[in-house]
Structure 1
């Protein structure tokens, strides 16, 4: 079934508009080899299948006026996964395993999440998005988890997601969204970094068996959840996206 078939019956007249941050990467398109704003289709599928309208938010120049104008047109926000965040934003020198910074994306997403929180807009952070939320609010990151946990299970190999068991905190917003199967989940991870010092205002709501933080939430907004795993990779489980779309309505 193609994308048009999957989206044909989408209730666009009543659906909330969900902005998704994108990468800015080298891309080949036919004879062209250029930098392009790109995002894996699974993010779009996840938002649309949950009942939202997906709008892409590529990195661009940042000002309060630009960010507010963008957020004025949205009902909810997804901070997507991607490259490592500049360690200078949380007061550290780069580890040898940390990728070169993407200053444009860091500045754009930091501004988006800060202003979204100020207006209490529902949001979902995914992998890098969880880390950006923590950094934007003053927290720090572990730059290379294998040195901390002695394992590469969170990023087993290039382009290979690692299945990880996580324990979800009872009575958290995350547990409420996930429902009866919340307490113990097997999720798909692809991250070599993770949250270290948790920013003020955030609550840890899921951890792995070796103590790595896998989810945080912000109680100051109606729906403010960020997970280290990749829920967009599981087409059979749209609960986090459905929770975001419900809140965005």
Structure 2
């Protein structure tokens, strides 16, 4: 029986970063090429979608910052935000399977009335994530220990959780690391798809983009090579395993 694919919505304009992200979601989602359909929103507007044709929707990371002033956002970012907001209307109404990684916190957080700003931005690298009681009981976090390492790197984060959201994971430097809306709609601030090789690609592409101090790339790369983030991808594999459907 043929599985309905997952839909990956990407916004990275740099081909190297976009390709590495796609490969990472395939690998850690335990998906074949045909089981993950990618649409690059930064290139093409989102076409009309029939969600019944998909097992779920995944949103990758992004150079966009939802908290930037409107006049600082490009026309492409404005379009992407409008398209994602309209899609989230349907996803929330249907409680359709959704996983937003990093940029997902911003898009879902803003959509549900939370506060996203630069208070809890984190420099690129591994950080220690702690599950809440609700996180320990959540099926998407099955097999994930109470404390684990994951890669982060973001200029903005959710400061005030949406009223209808359940906090699943937190950290000392960023209180909202993962939350859920309804039963099937998730967002993570950390990257469940990133391993050391993936992060090395990212920092090479986004060097001097403000994700870490100027001149710190080699130091961050060396730390990434020795980081153990092997447990974080279980979030992604649990999501795809739970929601794959024919």
Q: TM-score, normalised by structure 2?
A: 0.70
2:56 corresponds to: 76
1:134-160 Cα distance to aligned partner (Å, 9 max, x none): 1111222123535xxxxxxx22xxxxx
**Within 2, Cα distance between the matches of 1:25 and 1:180?**
34
Tell me how far apart the structure 1 counterparts of residues 187 and 65 of structure 2 sit (CA, whole Å). Answer: 16
1:233 is matched with 194
Q: Which residues of structure 1 form unaligned runs of 5+?
A: 1-12, 29-36, 147-153, 156-160
Contact 1:19-1:57 within 8 A present in 2 as well: yes
Tell whether the 8 Å contact from 1:127 to 1:227 is kept in structure 2 after alignment.
yes
Select 1:168's aligned residue among 128, 131, 134: 131
RMSD of aligned residue pairs (Cα, Å):
3.2
Aligned to 2:237: 242
What's the CA shift string for 1:159-191, capped at 9, x where partnerless? Answer: xx4111111012437754333543111111111
Structure with greater proportional helix content:
2
What is the aligned partner in structure 1 of residue 97 from structure 2?
A: 122
Conservation of the 8 A alpha-carbon contact between 1:80 and 1:125: yes
SS in 2 for 1:163: strand
Change (3 A) 1:110 1:39: farther
Report if aligned partners of 1:124, 1:224 keep a CA contact under 8 Å in 2: yes
CA distance in 2, matches of 1:51, 1:179: 25
Is residue 54 of structure 1 aligned with residue 36 of structure 2?
yes
TM-score, scaled to structure 1:
0.69
1:26-80 Cα distance to aligned partner (Å, 9 max, x none): 659xxxxxxxx86722123233449981011232446xxx54x342321101111
Spell out the pairing of 1:81-230 with structure 2 (5 A cutoff).
Answer: 81-87=61-67, 93=69, 102-143=77-118, 145=120, 154-155=122-123, 161-172=124-135, 175-218=138-181, 220-221=182-183, 223-230=184-191
Shift of 1:236: 4.4
Runs (5+) with no aligned partner, structure 2: 196-228
- In structure 2, the CA distance between the partners of 1:52 and 1:216, relative to structure 1 (3 Å rule), is farther
State the secondary structure of the residue aligned to 2:85. Answer: helix
Instruction: Summarize the Cα distance change of 1:136–1:192 in structure 2 as closer, same or farther, 3 Å threshold.
Output: same
Q: What is the count of residue pairs matched by the alignment?
A: 205
Aligned in 2, Cα 1:174/1:247: closer, same or farther, shift over 3 Å?
A: farther
**2:11 corresponds to 1:23:** yes
Secondary structure, counterpart of 1:55 in structure 2: strand
